[in-house]
Structures are given as structure tokens and as C-alpha cells.
Amino acid sequence: MSEEQRLLLAFILSLVIIFVFSRLYQPVPGRPGPVTTPAEKIGSSSETQVSLAGKKSRQVVNLETELVRLTVGSNGGSLEEIALKNYRRPGEQFFTIASGSRALLSYPEEEVLSWGATEFKVEREEKGLTLTGFPRPGIEENKRYYLSSNGYTITYRVNLKNHTGEEVRLKNYCILGGIFDLKDQVRERSSAPEFKAGTPVGIIRRQVSPRLGKETGEECFWVAFWSHYAMFFLRPEKGAGWFLTRQGQEVGFGVSYPEVVIPARGEKRLSLSFYAGPSDYFVLSREVKEPVLGNGFFASMGRFLFAVLRAIHQVVPNWGWAIILLTLLVKAVFFPLTRSSLQSMKEMQRLRPYLKDLQTKYRDNPQQMQKEMMNLYREYKINPFSGCLPMLIQFPIFIGFFVALRNSVFLRGAPFILWIRDLSQPDCLFTVAGFPINLLPVIMAGTSFWQQKLTPQEPSQKSLTFLMPVMFLFLFYNFSSGLLLYWVTMNLAGLLEQYLITRAAKPALL
């Protein structure tokens, strides 16, 4: 069987495996339409879920800037929708990151139903909105929303007025960051959402998993909840705790004050800032300085490379071409290391017959065998580890860039050329019986196979020539086209490197 026939067979078998697996293990489908986060429930102290659907808002008012549109409803005086004006996919009017989440609903925990159904009067101000309602007899709640003109941060202020002659104590007064439907994560092809809380004892982190129930904390400086592209960040006043709860497919989070005391004929004021926008580091860091996203080595490396990518994009205003150019630039920088690695591997391959002779001659004396092998390496000036070291040095670079591309909101809705209309989505050419035919992962597997064939290998590793490309095809078939464009460019650049190095190869050492 020729190499071309084997390559074709590997592709056909991989497609069959992917097709069967996708049919047997289909994810729960999300609702059609733009990305939203509908929710109508919230956990209470009894760990039940109390419906907040109530009646429809009588009045809905939009507060918007060039970047975002907020929809505030009179029912509960909370945010009914948060929609971004950038990063839109084809056919989307807005990039909706929250719909029906009841963000910034404020209430005492035991009175969530009545406060959530209170009808507020909504009035416009010069720089925001004012809402007035009476959630309890004698208690007036004034809410004010101020939206930054050049960002995604909302300043939220609550003024509780007591019109009675007695002091009022509101137990566990909560301000909701939002409630989100996990089924939307399936539609966005993203990993599970994460939650963090900055506390006096450090940062508390929770992955939203099926085991999550309800958790609370006594004190926090900030709380954050984010998914693939959207971040919701609350920075409350001193003295607030945090809560995170899940029931079924809905997750809610926010901050709470153990007790809010309103003097007789007096008032109590609370305020916080609320960021609701992209979770991308380069957008978020302009408004949120807290270490929400972390600063690990891979993350830092990815941010550096993406900063270079953005600079390239300023000159070449197409994210696809920018990815290709940066990948080629990185490969060019590391070309000397790659050349050293491949040359060392080829020289080791030429020494293989002599190494086998030594292994046979000294099989009963391992120490002498190691000594003779090192003498052989010294005689021909070969470092047996030089083939691996350059690859280990490059590995963090490639992984960091891979992670940066995977989480970048700038690729959402960004077209490349031809059939690639959205670099944040798989590059589907067409479907067969509902199964998507994606071209880039096939090209990636083909170029990986070609690279494996050209790379010097031990005879025992020949099977990897077929297994690795098939595994890559299986694992990355539904990855975004931006990630796969990066991977394919790396493979093609690697093939060019191998060709140039082979042409300039030294004559045989032995």
C-alpha cells in the first residue's frame, strides 16, 4: 500500500470514528438564536428555588453607549438584558451576554419573591437611570444606574428610605450578580463557567460542576463569574459576603450584607461597581485591576504574544492573516533551535547501528554499556539530549499562544477568507446527514502525518506516524477555525523548515 493510500485510509477512518462518536455522545442542544443567558430562578436560604418570573415589566428602558446596551425593567428594577455592540457574529444585531438574568436585583433573602416582583418607576437622568419602588410598606427603595461612557462598568447605588417610626432591619440583604443557564455554554462551545471571590484569606475559586450546591462566604472584596467570552464582576462596599448557588442548569451568584439597618425616618445607602463585558484580558484589564484571570506562566506568555498579534493586526486588519504572520514570525525566531534539534536527531539516527552493537555486546553490563555509549557521543560530538531541549523551550510559547487564541473575544465574528466566516467557530464547509464537514482539521491531520514521516524516528515509534494525526483529528475536529489556522500554519512552516534543513544536511558521519 502506497503512502498516499495510507494517508487517505487514515483520514477516512478518522472521519468514521468522529461521525460515530458524535452520534453516540451528542451534547444537550441549546436553544436557537443569539447567545443569551436566560434564567428565572434564584436559590434561597432554604436551598429551594423561588420563581422570579412574576409579571412582565410594565416599563422597559434602554441605557446605551457606543459599546453596550443595557435594558432595565420596572419589574424588580433589575437588568433584563446586557448586549454588546462589538464582537458580533454574522446575523447578530447584538452580542447578548445576559438575558433574563435579573442582574443587580437587590432584596432581603427571605423576601426575594415580593422584592423581585415590585414594580418600579423608571426615570432617565443626564448620565443614567433612577428607579423608585416600594417593596415593603413604609420602605422606599431608590436605585441609580450610571454607565461608563467608554467602558463596560456600571455604578449601582441603592438608597433605602424608612418612612415608618421604627427601625427596620433587613436580614441578609443580597445584590444579585446574575443567574445564568449552563445550556448556553454548549452553544458557545466553551468550558464550564468559573467563579472567584477575593477574600481576606486569599482568592476562592470554584469551577461550576454538577456537584456544586450552594456556597457562601462571610467577607469579600470582589466576586467574579465568567464563561468563555463574558465576565460579570462585582466590587461591593466593605462588609459584604458572597454566595454561589446552582440548581439544575441554572447558576446564580452575588454579594450579601448580613444585616442592613435603616433608622426610623432615616435612610441607608449602598453602592457597588458592576463590570459586564468581555472576559478578554486586553478589554477587562482596562477596568478591572483585581487578579481575576490569574497570571500563570502560560497565561502571561499568551498575553505577550497576543499583544504582538494585535500590533500586527493594526497593520494587517484581518485576524486570520495576522495569526499566520505571527506564527511564521515565531517559527522564524526559533528556526536555529529547530535546525539544531533536527540535525541532532538525524545524527543520532546514523549512530543507531553502532549503538545497537554496544547494547548487544554489553547487555549484561549496563554500566559499561552507558560508558561506551557516552564515549561514542563524545567521539562524534553529539549531545543525545539536544534533540529534545529545543522543543521543550518552544513548548510554552506555542501553548501560551494557543490558550490566548482560544479565549480571545476579538476572534468572535471575525472573518478570514473563502469559507471561513468566523474565526471563533469551526470552519464547516457543508453537512452530511447533520454531520459538519470541517476542512482545517483534515488539513491539520494531513500536515501532521507528513511531518511525522519526515521526522527521524526510532523504528519502534513508526506507529505514531499514523496514530498521532488520527488522534489530533479526533480531538480538534470541532475546535475554532482560528486555533486550527494557527496549528496548520505551524505544521506547514515546520514542513518548510524540514525541507530547508534536509537540503543543507551534513554528509553522513559514519
Domains of the chain, by residue range, sit at 3-24+306-503, 41-286
Share of residues in the chain with pLDDT > 70 (%): 76
Q: Specify the higher pLDDT residue, 340 or 89.
A: 89
Q: Which of 29-38, 221-230, 428-437 has the lowest mean pLDDT?
A: 29-38
pLDDT at 464: 60
> What letters, b where the CB count within 10 A reaches 16 and e where it falls short, cover 4-32?
eeebeebbeebbeebeeeeeeeeeeebee
Please give the helix or strand (H or E) that residue 109 lies within, else none: none
Contacts of 277 (CB under 8 A, 6+ apart): 67, 68, 84, 97, 151, 152, 230, 231, 283, 284, 287
Q: For residue 381, what pLDDT band results from cuts at 50, 70 and 90?
A: low
Decide if pLDDT at 49 tops 50: no
> What distance lies between CA 8 and its chain's CA centroid?
34
Task: State whether residue 193 is helix, strand or coil.
Answer: coil
Q: What is the pLDDT of residues 314-371, one digit of tens each?
A: 999 999 999 999 989 988 887 777 776 666 666 666 667 776 777 777 777 777 777 7
Q: What angle do CA 480, 485, 487 make, to 5 degrees?
A: 100
Decide if pLDDT at 232 tops 90: yes
CATH code given to domain 41-286? 2.70.98.90
How large is the average pLDDT for residues 45-59? 46
Please give the helix or strand (H or E) that residue 157 lies within, else none: strand 153-162
Beta bridge pairs of residue 216: 243
Q: Specify the higher pLDDT residue, 385 or 121.
A: 121
Total-model pTM: 0.77
**Cα–Cα nearest to 244, from 224, 264, 229, 258:** 224
pLDDT at 324: 92
pLDDT at 473: 82
Neighbour-count burial of 111, counting CB atoms closer than 10 A to its CB (0-12 exposed, 13-18 middle, 19+ buried): middle
DSSP 316: S
Q: Which of 226-235, 249-258, 292-301 has the lowest mean pLDDT?
A: 292-301
Q: Specify the higher pLDDT residue, 36 or 232.
A: 232
Task: State whether residue 456 is helix, strand or coil.
Answer: coil
Decide if pLDDT at 462 tops 70: no
Highest mean pLDDT among 65-79, 290-304, 492-506: 65-79
Decide if pLDDT at 80 tops 50: yes
Decide if pLDDT at 40 tops 80: no
Please state, rounded to an integer, the average pLDDT across all residues of the chain: 78
Cβ–Cβ under 8 Å, residues 231 and 180:
no
pLDDT at 33: 34
Where helices occur in 335-423 by DSSP H, the ranges are 335-361, 366-379, 389-407
**C-alpha span between 220 and 175 (Å, rounded):** 13
Q: For residue 56, what pLDDT band results from cuts at 50, 70 and 90?
A: low
Decide if pLDDT at 455 tops 80: no
pLDDT at 509: 47
How large is the average pLDDT for residues 79-87? 91
Judging by DSSP bridges, how do beta strands 250-262 and 168-181 pair with one another?
antiparallel
